[in-house]
Amino acid sequence: MSALEPIQQQALVDRLMSACGGQYSPETRRKFFITGPQWAAAYEGNSLFQDKTRPTIGFERIIEEYSKIGIGYWCTHDTDVIPTAGLGHAQQDEIVGRIGEALKRNDMKCSMVTTETFHNPVWAASSAPEASQIRDYAAWRVSNTVKIGHELGAQFAVYWPGSLGYWIQGAIDETQTLQWYADTLNAACEADIDLAKKFGRPTLKHCMEAKPFEPVAEILLPTSDAMMAFIFSGKLKYPAMVGLNPEYLHERMWGTAVRAALARMLFANKLWHFDINDGYSLKHDVDIAVGLINPFDWLSVLVLLRSHGFNGPFNLDYKPPRSTSQHGVFAVSFPTAVDRFIALWEMAGEVLTDPIIKEATEALKTAGPRVADPLDAAGMFAANRELWSLHELIGHRLFQILIGQNKGRSFSV
């Protein structure tokens, strides 16, 4: 192979992508409630220790590219598209107007809006700091985002509190800070109730998102479980309006089985929105695309979600790697992420109808014969002893479905 010029490299990527095959059509992809974040496609590859590797691109291009791929929904932070200084001024209305036009032109919908409460220096002492003027500003910011949401037809508002925490222990009162953060969410819900009436629309679903480590040293609401305790603490004025937007990697980062964490949210009826990506446990937030690291785990997660009727939104909150070019972001990153998600979703459907798993699950629930003495632990154990091998058998069957052995795929030695 001789050295390829960049334009030939691009052609090679495109040729190998189509050689991979198995791509779903944009129409098929649009059947799923899959959402594309402005910030994910706009990510330039920079981080604390790494300079950017891709150029700046705006929302018009991103909305158009998502639409071509078949990602039917778009979402954004307030400041992804509106400069912080323009919020609440004519510039906001002008940009929101242009977003509306771009969405319409590309047959796209805005599904979700979110407030940036982590990046701007104003949040340096947290998003619920001692300075009451900044807390009032935070309340205004989340309410303003809700307004933008209604203007763009969104159904969801997401809150990643980001900087809600601290560097120096002992300097702030945690319970007071949590109360102030509750006040911010209360303000968003209150504003929503008024705005929904004004716009003649239902109120938004307000979804909290937890992340255990970054961006400050100690996070006050580090997990979705902590957020559920917050929602049910009695401190929210409208707890029924507030649910969760878990992120796959954020739960995995702290070491839980993601499926178990999601089950706890389903149990409380608070799983409303889901950021889909992948990555490694006990590491920082690498936001790798769905299914590239833990496909077996992902299959299991989707079996749980499908069996509980959760159909999205599935939000592609991931970062195309720095090594991927701008061409690659739309030619490789997003279409392949969507297609792996759909393939795993379909496999989860196979799991739910698989006759072997069905029979095994039914047999486990039917259980062995009851023993006469309800306090006879040894007898109960003996009565079920052989059935419980089915747990491991089900795990093996999941693996077979993942690699297609249930459909006859075989490997010779």
Site residues, Mg ion (CB under 5 A): 247, 249, 275, 285, 287, 317
Tell me which of 65, 78, 192, 247 binds ligand GLO, using CB under 6 A. Answer: 247
Task: Report which of 112, 119, 160 is spatially closest to residue 315, judged by C-alpha positions.
Answer: 112
Residue whose CB is less far from ligand GLO, 112 or 342: 112
**Taking the complex as a whole, how short is the minimal distance between the CB of residue 330 and ligand GLO, in angstroms?**
19
Number of neighbouring beta carbons within 10 Å of residue 384:
12
**Taking the complex as a whole, how short is the minimal distance between the CB of residue 212 and Mg ion, in angstroms?**
11
Cis preceding linkage at 215, omega within 30: yes
The angle formed by the CA atoms of residues 252, 253 and 254, to the nearest 5 degrees, is 95
Residue whose CB is less far from ligand GLO, 61 or 284: 284
Contact set for ligand GLO, span 182-211 (CB under 6 A): 209, 211
Residues paired with 265 in a beta bridge: none
**Taking the complex as a whole, how short is the minimal distance between the CB of residue 261 and ligand GLO, in angstroms?**
15
Q: Rule CB under 6 A: say whether 79 interacts with ligand GLO.
A: no
Q: Which does 151 bind (CB under 5 to 8 A by kind): ligand GLO, Mg ion, none?
A: none
> Using an 8 Å Cβ cutoff, are 180 and 135 in contact?
yes
Q: Which does 65 bind (CB under 5 to 8 A by kind): Mg ion, ligand GLO, none?
A: none
Closest residue to ligand GLO in the complex (CB): 114
Q: What is the DSSP letter of 333?
A: I
Q: Which two three-digit tokens encode residue 134?
A: 């900044």
Q: Rule CB under 6 A: say whether 44 interacts with ligand GLO.
A: no
| Rounded Cα distance, 213 and 215, in Å | 7
**Taking the complex as a whole, how short is the minimal distance between the CB of residue 388 and Mg ion, in angstroms?**
37
> Using an 8 Å Cβ cutoff, are 291 and 298 in contact?
yes
| Rounded Cα distance, 265 and 270, in Å | 5
**Taking the complex as a whole, how short is the minimal distance between the CB of residue 44 and ligand GLO, in angstroms?**
15
Instruction: State the amino acid at position 365 in one-letter form.
Output: K
Q: What is the DSSP letter of 24?
A: P
Q: Rule CB under 6 A: say whether 80 interacts with ligand GLO.
A: no
Q: Which two three-digit tokens encode residue 135?
A: 């807390």
Strands (E), 245-350: 274-275, 314-315
**Taking the complex as a whole, how short is the minimal distance between the CB of residue 127 and ligand GLO, in angstroms?**
12
Q: Which does 73 bind (CB under 5 to 8 A by kind): ligand GLO, Mg ion, none?
A: none
Strands (E), 262-306: 274-275
> Using an 8 Å Cβ cutoff, are 231 and 272 in contact?
no
Tell me which of 38, 67, 106, 114 binds ligand GLO, using CB under 6 A. Answer: 114
Strands (E), 183-279: 205-208, 218-219, 242-244, 274-275
Number of neighbouring beta carbons within 10 Å of residue 376:
12
Please give the backbone phi and psi of residue 340, each rounded to the nearest 5 degrees, phi first. -65, -40
Residue whose CB is less far from Mg ion, 64 or 285: 285
Residue whose CB is less far from Mg ion, 96 or 249: 249
**Taking the complex as a whole, how short is the minimal distance between the CB of residue 284 and ligand GLO, in angstroms?**
10
Q: Rule CB under 6 A: say whether 251 interacts with ligand GLO.
A: no
Tell me which of 158, 210, 261, 338 binds ligand GLO, using CB under 6 A. Answer: 158
Residue whose CB is less far from Mg ion, 106 or 277: 277
> Using an 8 Å Cβ cutoff, are 156 and 273 in contact?
yes
> Using an 8 Å Cβ cutoff, are 139 and 187 in contact?
yes
Interface mask toward ligand GLO for 266-295; x: CB under 6 A:
---------x---------x----------
Tell me which of 317, 339, 344, 348 binds ligand GLO, using CB under 6 A. Answer: 317
In this structure, the chain runs to a length of 413
Residue whose CB is less far from Mg ion, 78 or 287: 287
Residue whose CB is less far from ligand GLO, 115 or 325: 115
Residue whose CB is less far from Mg ion, 247 or 354: 247
Residue numbers of the site for ligand GLO (CB under 6 A)?
Answer: 114, 158, 160, 209, 211, 247, 275, 285, 317
